[in-house]
Structure 1
Amino acid sequence: MIKAVIFDMDGVIVDSEPIYEKADKEIFQRYGINLSDKELQNYIGVNLLDIWTDLFNKYHFKGEYKDYEVEDFIEEHVHGHYKVLSESDELALMPGIKEWFEYFKAKSYKMIIASSSYEPIIELIYQKFGLAKYMEGYVDGNSVEKGKPEPDIFLQAAENLGVKAEECLVIEDSEHGISAANQAGMKSIGFDRDTDYNQDLSSADILIKEFNQQNLEKLSL
């Protein structure tokens, strides 16, 4: 029996991926890193620690960045994301997601965010859109040892809510996120938008393209 719903944030609650994509390209180019679209897609849903650990091992940074540690790159990246999100006029809730929040709230399901983003970014979104009305907090990507596709972040979210893993439903838009939900032993909804991100969500229990009433009725909660 499902008692709780765990939401990814970026690309599920807010349509932030296009904003991130532009910012990421600028950030990586600043360090002399030119990633292909496929390489960028492989990092969707992955936390910054894992991304920058991977990049740090692949690239030999020189000049002003030669003494940088992974943590230095992460700090600047988080600051870059925070800046573009806080200044963006395009950042908005995903169409229909608020109605889903209202539905789950009316049914007394517990709700929480489990996002690979860092705490300042999640807090910005949390406050901007008044998510405390629905959510019982959040788990950020820096608060668990292993990020998605490992299940740690979802297991921590379930623990925070005081529910069992099998009592949770995860809503995700990334391949890594669905994999993490499966490994956690949770039911999952793959939010398969018409994007160029090419995420394989086929292992999700349910696939949807919109947050609407028709898809809510598919859940049978």
Structure 2
Amino acid sequence: MQKFKDIKGFAFDLDGVIADTARFHGQAWHQTADEVGTTWTPQLAESLKGISRMESLQMILDAGNHTDDFSQVDKEALAEKKNHFYQRLIATLTEEDILPGMKSFIHSAKVAGYKMSIASASKNAPMILDHLGLANDFVGIVDPATLTKGKPDPEIFVRAAEVLELSPNQVIGLEDSAAGIESINSAGQISLAIGDAVVLSAADLIFSSTADVTLQSIQSKMDKIKSN
């Protein structure tokens, strides 16, 4: 693993890392599942984390054995309907919805000279950051519409490093999903997971809460790994 002093930037997932917009995705996808006749379960909800809109819809259809019940036009209409509902929900976001410790971490990283980008499957990331008051803290946002593959493919985090004009080994990627951690690892970056240590065991660094993520705590974990 690289030394902390070699890190120059951070690439952030958005949902579940910076703000809990995942709950809004859950509400919106739950509504879609009800509409198509798929039973909504905690397992299905978990499997959609970090996955693109059309892939998520397909997973919902597959879970209910409705794979062949909808045309491509129907699927696009369902996805668009879900997004409209989701956008109404995220329009209610304010700075108060930033997850514990993240506002402080982002601002301290910026002051310390680190460059930051967003690597989210959400096409609504610019709107969300604007509502949260964080839009000016990031160098750029990877546009998921320009990607050919979703997580766990490394493409989005490779692009996030390119946005920062940094090599992969100079970047730490932050994620809360197993698919996202796999994406970061495959991109050659240090993976920082936030959440369940068992589910996210493939990560280089694991924090149980966003409140625990600071420059000092990251350095401490990296130094400890290097010394072992």
Q: Give the alignment's TM-score, normalised by structure 1.
A: 0.85
What is the aligned partner in structure 2 of residue 21 from structure 1? 26
Q: Using the aligned pairs only, state the percent identity.
A: 28
What is the aligned partner in structure 1 of residue 41 from structure 2? 36
Q: C-alpha displacement at 1:91, in angstroms?
A: 7.0
* Stretch moving more, 97-106 or 16-25: 16-25
Distance 1:162 1:30, change over 3 A: same
| 1:174 aligned onto 2:177 | yes
Alignment of 1:132-143 (within 5 A): 132-143=135-146
Q: C-alpha displacement at 1:78, in angstroms?
A: 1.5
What is the aligned partner in structure 1 of residue 113 from structure 2? 108
- Please state whether the residue corresponding to 2:73 is helix, strand or coil: coil
What is the aligned partner in structure 1 of residue 66 from structure 2? 59
- Please state whether the residue corresponding to 1:219 is helix, strand or coil: helix
What CA distance in whole angstroms lies between the structure 1 residues aligned with 2:94 and 2:40?
A: 27
What is the aligned partner in structure 1 of residue 206 from structure 2? 207
Q: C-alpha displacement at 1:152, in angstroms?
A: 0.6
Structure 1: give runs of 5+ residues left out of the alignment: none
Q: C-alpha displacement at 1:19, in angstroms?
A: 2.7
Q: C-alpha displacement at 1:128, in angstroms?
A: 0.9
Q: Alpha carbon RMSD of aligned pairs, Å?
A: 2.5
Q: C-alpha displacement at 1:20, in angstroms?
A: 2.3
2:159 to 156, 159, 177: 156
- Please state whether the residue corresponding to 2:118 is helix, strand or coil: strand
Superposed CA offset, 1:149-181 (max 9, x none): 111111111112211111110111111110100
- Please state whether the residue corresponding to 1:124 is helix, strand or coil: helix
- Please state whether the residue corresponding to 1:179 is helix, strand or coil: helix
| 1:79 aligned onto 2:84 | yes
What CA distance in whole angstroms lies between the structure 1 residues aligned with 2:201 and 2:93?
A: 32
Distance 1:100 1:94, change over 3 A: same
What CA distance in whole angstroms lies between the structure 2 residues aligned with 1:66 and 1:158?
A: 37
Structure 2: give runs of 5+ residues left out of the alignment: 1-5, 223-228
Residue-pair matches, total: 213
Q: Give the alignment's TM-score, normalised by structure 2.
A: 0.83
- Please state whether the residue corresponding to 1:171 is helix, strand or coil: strand
What is the aligned partner in structure 2 of residue 144 from structure 1? 147
Residue pair 1:85, 1:91 contacting (<8 A) in 2 also: no
Give 2:28's aligned amino acid. Answer: A
| 1:187 aligned onto 2:190 | yes
Give 1:165's aligned amino acid. Answer: P
- Please state whether the residue corresponding to 1:10 is helix, strand or coil: coil
* Stretch moving more, 145-154 or 210-219: 210-219
The structure that is helix-richer by fraction is: 2
| 1:117 aligned onto 2:122 | yes
